[in-house]
Structure 1
Amino acid sequence: MHFAFPPRKSSHPPPYAVRSSRSSPLLRRQRLRNWGLLATLAVFTIFLLSRYSGTGGSEKIPSGTPPCVIVTIIDQEAPSAFIRAIKDNRNDYAARHGYGTFFPNVTDYNLDDAPFTWSKVPAMRHAMTLFPYSTYFFYLTSFALIMNPSISIEAHIMDRERLETTMLVEKPVVPPDSIIKTFPNIRGDKIDFVLTQDREGLSQDSFVIRRGEWAKYFLDAWFDPLYRSYNFQKAERHALEHIVQWHGTILAKLALVPQRILNSYLRDPSGGTEGVYAEGDFVVNFFGCDLAGDRNCEEEMTPMITRWREIRDRRGY
């Protein structure tokens, strides 16, 4: 059968056509909302990466900022001549390299009845507040002397290639047989914390930290009230060994270097000779002089203070 006219279209379009025309604005709004969420997530990710990737290559550092700050805690009850000698030692070295110095008092910080030796941790955090753009912070106990002023922190310790040559890899963190060892194959520019160890464990008398969010996290973790109240036998030293072994995020940023690079002992109480000071070493540490009742730090350090002054005054040094 043939129709004279084509079949009339229904005046009631299929339901999907109505739904399609009415839902398209909703779909567009949903897509915009999804894109907005993705953009927000991307911005947040970039923010986190910029905060936790170190000092940041694009950071503008104000003119005159010291690249390194030397931190030494002073006991104001020590003889004034001794305090003056320690400050002179650091200030002379800092002036040669354009560094800053910071000398807080041992009683400046609330330690909640913990030993005064803990004060080094908040002192380093304090220094980072006072020098917010400096790259390195070098802590050195007051019972040590800088003996080779020609050595710089950047070239001698923190240079990437230098670190990759000197860092001790797959080394037990706590000698002699800790199952936790330093990581192998870490790039030098990823290291933010450099220190040494002696025969008994990690030494926190001389160490360098690179400024950044990780450094703040590390110092805050080390200074946790739980560790200060735990009554470790060797206070902050044992606390440091604990967090390094139990927190991979800390161990991954740590480098151990040979003791004579950063922390030579005038004499090693354990009888070792590997880390004993020799002329030309960067630092001499009178380790244990403040702990043994038959030793006197000021008396032991006087001959080396005299020697340091000879080195300081040597023409052309």
Structure 2
Amino acid sequence: MVYVDKDIESNLKYAPRSRNVFSTVKSTLVKYRKVVILLISLIFLSLFTDVPFVPHLKLSQPNVVIILAANEGGGVLKWKGAQEWSIERSSIANKKDYAKRHGYDLTIKDLTVKKRYSHEWRESWEKVDILKQAMRQYPKAEWFWWLDLHTYIMEPQLSLEEQIFSKLDNLTYRQLTDFNPLQLKTDIPYVDYSQPIDLLITQDCGGFNLGSFIVRRSQWTEALLDIWWDPVFYEQMHMTWEHKEQDALETLYNAQAWIRERVGFLPLRSINAFPPGACSEQSNDPRYFYSDKERDFVVNMAGCDWGRDCWNEMEHYKALSKKLQRPWYKFW
């Protein structure tokens, strides 16, 4: 007589059934392998890339998305050196920390891959196209904050809700009667300034500053981005306009009442404070330049690669921000 352990006997009893189930699953996967591959690919793209047509797989999407313009694969015209890599790492880490702290999302856009038009290269114009992509990528987000690489959030403990959105009416101005560096028109008729603000920008000595600006999702914003990105502007004016997409927006604002009525201007130092050396012709005007005593929110090292030292400026403001965040008793 042969004795068989009951556990072994039980396993042997159900072994054929297990093999049948495995075979069924295997045959199903083989049958629908294209669908399975597609699903796995979509999940991978959603989790690990910034593909604009694939919404990120999250239980809830953020209300604010920060868009950081970077050149992670190298410079547009040349490969980056050690200091340029350092600037990029510092800027990205700064935005990642800020977004994580306040429950925002950060999407990093590599501008080197935007050279995708066979007949043109809209350098600096691509931010309009990227904004359109980000809005498709984050269909539930309301606000989108564009930041150039040479920016640094100095007061990361302050949310945009606290710093900007909760006091829009008191913080913004709608007409250019008091501050108008470009001498744009101030008497366009039929402008309804009671409309909500959908575009938040600042002005500096050169006009509209697009190194740091904020847009709200709306039908107005979609229409603005469409006309701003229209190739007619580029084809006819790209050799004339020195500041490219900035000049295009200024022209639209100067001519179109429907655009003007939803633009709100923030003080420059609210999201774009300059370091010494920028806007040098206005060096004595405190409206332009970062103040550590008044704890300005963001510093924008605009134009640092034209006769200034971008790396030294980034390191200076990174160290200063860290120092300002220390508890008061650690200064002694």
TM (norm. structure 1) is: 0.71
Measure, in 1, the Cα distance between the counterparts of 2:316 and 2:187: 38
Instruction: Find 2:63's aligned residue among 67, 87, 112.
Output: 67
Deviation at 1:315, TM superposition (A): 9.4
Q: Secondary structure at the match of 1:271?
A: helix
Structure 2 residue matching 1:107: 3-state secondary structure: helix
2:213 equivalent to 1:217: no
Deviations 1:95-147 (A, max 9, x none): 11100001011123236534422221111111111111011000011111110
Deviation at 1:259, TM superposition (A): 0.8
Q: 2:312: which partner in 1?
A: 299
Determine which of 229, 250, 254 is the counterpart of 1:241: 250
1:256-291 CA-partner distances (Å, limit 9, x unpaired): 11111121111232432212001211100111113x
1:84 and 2:89 correspond: yes
Contact 1:262–1:283 (8 Å) recurs in 2: yes
Size of the alignment, in residue pairs?
250
> TM-score with structure 2 length normalisation?
0.68
- Name the counterpart of 1:120: 127
What is residue 253 of structure 1 aligned with on the other side?
262
Task: Report the Cα distance in structure 1 between the residues aligned to 2:97 and 2:187, rounded to whole angstroms.
Answer: 37
Aligned partner of 1:228 in structure 2 is: 234
Q: Which residue of 2 aligns with 1:100?
A: 105
The residue number in structure 2 matching 1:134 is 141
Q: Runs of 5+ in structure 2 lacking a partner?
A: 1-57, 75-79
Once the 2 structures are TM-superposed, how far is the Cα of residue 176 of structure 1 from its aligned partner? 4.9
**Quick one: structure 1 residues 227 and 176, their matched pair in 2 at CA, closer, same or farther if it must change by over 3 Å?**
closer
Aligned CA-pair RMSD? 2.6
CA gap of 1:181–1:126, structure 2 versus 1, over 3 A, is farther
Instruction: State how far apart, in whole Å, the 2-side matches of 1:68 and 1:181 are.
Output: 34
Q: Structure 1 residues 216, 108: closer, same or farther in 2, change over 3 A?
A: farther
Q: Distance in 1 between matches of 2:182 and 2:124?
A: 25
- 2:38 aligns with none
Return the alpha-carbon distance in structure 2 between the equivalents of residues 181 and 257 of structure 1.
20
Distance 1:225 1:244, change over 3 A: same
**Is 1:282 paired with 2:297?**
yes
Q: Deviations over 1:182-240 (max 9, x none)?
A: 999834x7111001001221111111101122212111211111222212111111111
Which residue identity is paired with 1:269?
C
CA shift at 1:309, angstroms?
3.7
Amino acid at match of 1:254: V
2:155/2:296 contact within 8 Å kept: yes
Q: How many angstroms apart in 1 are the aligned matches of 2:122 and 2:141?
A: 29
Contact 2:191 2:258 in 1 (8 A): no
Distance 1:257 1:128 in 2: 23
Q: Answer yes or no: is the 8 Å Cα contact 1:166–1:258 preserved in 2.
A: yes
- Relative to structure 1, the CA distance from residue 250 to residue 184 in structure 2 (aligned partners, 3 Å threshold; closer, same or farther) is closer
SS of the residue corresponding to residue 210 of structure 2 reads: strand
Structure 1 gaps, min length 5: 1-61
- Is the contact between residue 71 and residue 139 of structure 1 (CA under 8 Å) also seen in structure 2? yes
CA distance in 2, matches of 1:168, 1:100: 28
Residue 190 of structure 1: SS of its match in structure 2?
coil
- Distance in 2 separating the partners of 1:212 and 1:248: 17
Query: Does structure 2 conserve the Cα–Cα contact (< 8 Å) formed by 1:167 and 1:255?
Result: yes
Among 179, 193, 204, the residue aligned to 1:198? 204
Give the aligned partner of residue 59 of structure 1: none
**Correspondence 1:153-164 to 2 at 5 A:** 153-159=160-166, 162-164=167-169
Distance 1:98 1:219 in 2: 26
TM-fit CA distance, 1:63: 5.0
**2-structure distance, mates of 1:308, 1:276:** 16
Secondary structure at 1:89's aligned position in 2?
helix
Q: Distance in 2 between matches of 1:137 and 1:163?
A: 16
* Secondary structure of 2:125's aligned partner: helix
